[in-house]
Amino acid sequence: MISIINNFLETILPIAYALVTLAYGLAFVRDDAYAAGWRTRLLIFTLVTHFLYIGTHTAEYARCMVTTPFEIMSLIAFTITATYAYIEHRTRSRETGVFMLFVAFMFVVVSSVMTRMPSTPNPVLENNTVGIHVSTAIFGYGALAISAVYSFLFLILYRNIRRNTFGPFFKHLPSLESLEKLSVVAAAIGLTFLTVAMLVAMIWLPDAIDNFSYSDPKLVITALVWLLYAGVLLSYYAFKIDSRKIMLLSVSGFLLALFSMTVINLLFSSFHRFV
């Protein structure tokens, strides 16, 4: 029974994300009143569906959704959506929703298409410290994704203003200063979680895994991501460099994280794969 429900939720989850992204998109681009009226309801429906999916998936396989990068992607999508829903509820601003939800949608699509289920859980994952490592990493990457979206929006609006293009981005987006602040705050939160995840991993991994190596591509790229985001924060708070460059750095950091999560995981053999 759980399996049937899980399969059903797994099927409708990308559809729900597609619909909610479309609703926010239509409201943003076309000022569509009908889409605007439905978007928040669809967002709640999507969040609830995703929450139930995490529950049924956990129940069916009797383990947390942390075994594959694609399960983690689903959790990151949930984190982005939940964080965005909180921001929308607090600020009543719905204009950045389409971009946040599009990123979440992409994570969900990749996750749904690529999810592979191991028949038996890896014993490494039974260690309690793994929970802290994985959950902080998920929160960290979720926050970095949000930071990257705000940075991306900053760059679009910056370009629009410089080129005197006054379309929907100019009309709807928050100010450049707001987008910059939101991006930097999200980056600071993301970096904090990522730091905790890395510290926990450095304590736990060498003892837990036989073939552990500090030169593992996954670890090297993660360290680079950490350095890039540290650079973002230093540039903003200490060096006061041009905002556009800071935002470019933030987007680059996230793209690198995404590269690490997908290409590196697929192409390079790493102790960091538990399948």
Partner 1 sequence: MTIYAVGINHHTAPVEIRERFALSDDEISTALRTLHDGILKEAFILSTCNRTELYGVPHDDVETDGYVLQDFLRNLKPEIKVEDKYFFKYFTCGAASHLFNVAASIDSQVLGDVQILKQIKDAYELSLKEGASDTILNTLLHYALRVGKRVRAETSLGIGAISISYAAVQLAGRIFDNIHQKRVFLIGMGETGLLTARHFADRGVRKFIFANRTRKRAEEIAPKFEAEVVDFSVFPDALREADVVVTATSSPDILITRSMIKSCMKGRYNRPLLVLDISVPRNVDPAAGSVGNVFLNDIDALQGIVDHNISKRREELPKAGAIVTEELMRFFVWYNSLEATPTIQKIREKFERVRQNELERFRHRIDEKSFEAVELLTHRILQKILHPTMRSLRTQTHDVTSLNMTVQVLREVFDLNDEAPDTDDKHVEEPSSGEDNDQ
- Min separation Cβ 84 and partner 1, Å: 20
Could you say whether residue 245 binds partner 1 (CB under 8 A)? Answer: yes
Q: Which of 67, 147, 243, 260 binds partner 1 (CB under 8 A)?
A: 243
Q: Which is nearer to partner 1, 164 or 269 (CB)?
A: 164
Residues 32-71 interacting with partner 1 (rule: CB under 8 A): 33
Q: Which of 31, 117, 118, 213 binds partner 1 (CB under 8 A)?
A: 31
Q: Which of 77, 173, 232, 257 binds partner 1 (CB under 8 A)?
A: 173
Among the listed ranges 19-27, 167-175, 195-203, 226-234, the one in contact with partner 1 (CB under 8 A) is 167-175
- Min separation Cβ 113 and partner 1, Å: 38
Label each residue of the chain as H, E or C. Answer: CHHHHHHHHHHHHHHHHHHHHHHHHHHHHHCCHHHHHHHHHHHHHHHHHHHHHHHHHHHHHCCCCCCCHHHHHHHHHHHHHHHHHHHHHHHCCCCCHHHHHHHHHHHHHHHHHHCCCCCCCCHHHHCHHHHHHHHHHHHHHHHHHHHHHHHHHHHHHHHHHHCCCCCHHHHHCCCHHHHHHHHHHHHHHHHHHHHHHHHHHHHHHHHHCCCCCCCCHHHHHHHHHHHHHHHHHHHHHHHCCCHHHHHHHHHHHHHHHHHHHHHHHHHCCCCCCCC
- Min separation Cβ 183 and partner 1, Å: 13
- Min separation Cβ 164 and partner 1, Å: 4
Could you say whether residue 244 binds partner 1 (CB under 8 A)? Answer: yes
- Min separation Cβ 241 and partner 1, Å: 6
Tell me the backbone φ, ψ of residue 94, rounded to 5 degrees. -110, 5
Could you say whether residue 87 binds partner 1 (CB under 8 A)? Answer: no
Could you say whether residue 242 binds partner 1 (CB under 8 A)? Answer: yes
The Cβ-side half-sphere exposure at 170, using a 13 Å CA radius, reads 10
Count of helices and strands (H, E) across the chain: 10, 0
Could you say whether residue 86 binds partner 1 (CB under 8 A)? Answer: no
Among the listed ranges 65-73, 114-122, 189-197, 241-249, the one in contact with partner 1 (CB under 8 A) is 241-249
Q: Which of 91, 93, 122, 175 binds partner 1 (CB under 8 A)?
A: 175
How many angstroms separate the CA atoms of 70 and 262, rounded? Answer: 9
Could you say whether residue 240 binds partner 1 (CB under 8 A)? Answer: yes
- Min separation Cβ 102 and partner 1, Å: 22
Which residues of the shown chain bind partner 1 in the complex (CB under 8 A)? 31, 33, 157, 161-162, 164, 166-167, 170-171, 173-178, 181, 240-245
